[in-house]
Amino acid sequence: MKREACSRDEWGSQEVNIHPTAIVDRGAQLGRDVSIGPFSVVEADVEIGDGSSIGPRASIGRYTRLGRDCRVHAGAIIGDTPQDLGFRGQRSFTRIGDRCTLREYVTIHRGATEDSVTEIGDDCFLMAMSHVGHNARLGQRVIMANGSMLAGHVTVGDRAFISGLVAVHQFVRIGRLAMVGGGSMLTKDVPPFCMTRTGALNMIQGLNVVGMRRAGMTQAQRAEVKAAFDVTYRSGLNMQQAVDRMADAAAGSLMAEFRNFLAASKRGIGPWVGTRPKRIGSATDDELPAE
């Protein structure tokens, strides 16, 4: 471990900025213009890409690869050993893509089995105190708000948004452009383009129309997604019947994406709020008058 500031010669030709109080193992590989803040620790077998910065009191564990232009904020712990009672110290990895922002006290654990990986895609934004468990995989441009937690082996599609204080059970899948409402809990899969109800368990609110528009999806594309949603939730079919109904969808189409997600589900999908029985005299949020 190296405790004094490192010179340019010690890290090749690239320029690096390491605070004198930081501890950087000589076995770490640092790219050009990397910055390591006060009291941070970078272990052996770590790769940090060009232009990335590590804030104060952060920890980058062994076998972690951090991409280019990433920002790791104060107190974050990236690549620590998994919270798995079966883990015996075997080599496993954490891979963070380019241009990711990991805010204060984010924790990301490496894989729990030999040579397995926890992976975060490019351009992800993990807000303060969010957690990604071992062997989880996040696509590109995923956002996790403050205090959200993903258990082991969770998969999150591109551009999904996970709101604050969300808890996701192990092996759950969250589809592309899905939005998970704040304070909710997931033990079942969330289909792509769908939105879950705030503070509920597995309850599908409807489609993430705003998210689809912001992603540049055309009206025709949104209509195709709505048709897939209607087959799944409004037709009275069970999930296998809905998959069969959409079997003729063209390969690569949005309906095929929806269908393939359902077909691959092992945990099942959450129910739509429109199918939930209502108490006599009660109203759902959708039926309440506007303010």
Q: Residue 161 domain-assigned?
A: no
Q: Residue 260 domain-assigned?
A: yes
Residue 56 sits in a domain whose CATH number is 2.160.10.10
Would you state the pLDDT for residue 10?
55
Q: Within this chain, do residues 106 and 223 fall inside the same structural domain, yes or no? A: no
Q: Residue 186 domain-assigned?
A: no
What does the block give as tokens for 161? 């948004």
pTM: 0.90
Q: Within this chain, do residues 130 and 252 fall inside the same structural domain, yes or no? A: no
What does the block give as tokens for 198? 């705030």
Q: Residue 224 domain-assigned?
A: yes
Rounded distance between C-alpha atoms, residue 77 and residue 106, angstroms: 6
Residue 257 belongs to domain spanning: 219-275
Q: Residue 42 domain-assigned?
A: yes
Would you state the pLDDT for residue 11?
54
Would you state the pLDDT for residue 274?
83
Rounded distance between C-alpha atoms, residue 46 and residue 39, angstroms: 17
Q: Within this chain, do residues 17 and 136 fall inside the same structural domain, yes or no? A: yes
Q: Within this chain, do residues 20 and 149 fall inside the same structural domain, yes or no? A: yes
Q: Within this chain, do residues 271 and 135 fall inside the same structural domain, yes or no? A: no
Using the 3D structure, point to which of 153, 180, 206 is the last residue of a domain: 153
What does the block give as tokens for 19? 């605070």
Q: Within this chain, do residues 33 and 117 fall inside the same structural domain, yes or no? A: yes
Q: Within this chain, do residues 16 and 137 fall inside the same structural domain, yes or no? A: yes
Q: Within this chain, do residues 116 and 232 fall inside the same structural domain, yes or no? A: no
Q: Residue 246 domain-assigned?
A: yes
Q: Within this chain, do residues 37 and 138 fall inside the same structural domain, yes or no? A: yes
Using the 3D structure, point to which of 134, 153, 172 is the last residue of a domain: 153
Q: Residue 190 domain-assigned?
A: no
What does the block give as tokens for 209? 């129309």
pLDDT tens-digit profile, the chain (291 residues) = 343 444 443 555 468 999 999 999 999 999 999 999 999 999 999 999 999 999 999 999 999 999 999 999 999 999 999 999 999 999 999 999 999 999 999 999 999 999 999 999 999 999 999 999 999 999 999 999 999 999 999 999 999 999 999 999 999 999 999 999 999 999 999 999 999 999 999 999 999 999 999 999 999 999 999 999 999 999 999 999 999 999 999 999 999 999 999 999 999 999 999 865 444 333 343 433 333
Q: Residue 162 domain-assigned?
A: no
Q: Within this chain, do residues 17 and 129 fall inside the same structural domain, yes or no? A: yes
Q: Within this chain, do residues 259 and 130 fall inside the same structural domain, yes or no? A: no
Half-sphere exposure of 17 (CA within 13 A, CB side): 12
Q: How far apart, in Å, are the Cα atoms of 214 and each of 8, 191, 192, 209, 210?
A: 44, 18, 15, 9, 6
Amino acid in the structure at residue 290? A
Q: Within this chain, do residues 26 and 142 fall inside the same structural domain, yes or no? A: yes
Helix, strand, coil % over all residues of the chain, rounded to 5: 15, 25, 60
Rounded distance between C-alpha atoms, residue 228 and residue 234, angstroms: 10
Using the 3D structure, point to which of 119, 138, 153 is the last residue of a domain: 153
Question: What is the maximum span of the chain, computed from C-alpha positions, in angstroms?
Answer: 76
Q: How many structural domains comprise the chain?
A: 2
Would you state the pLDDT for residue 167?
98
**Cβ proximity of 193 and 207 under 8 Å:** yes
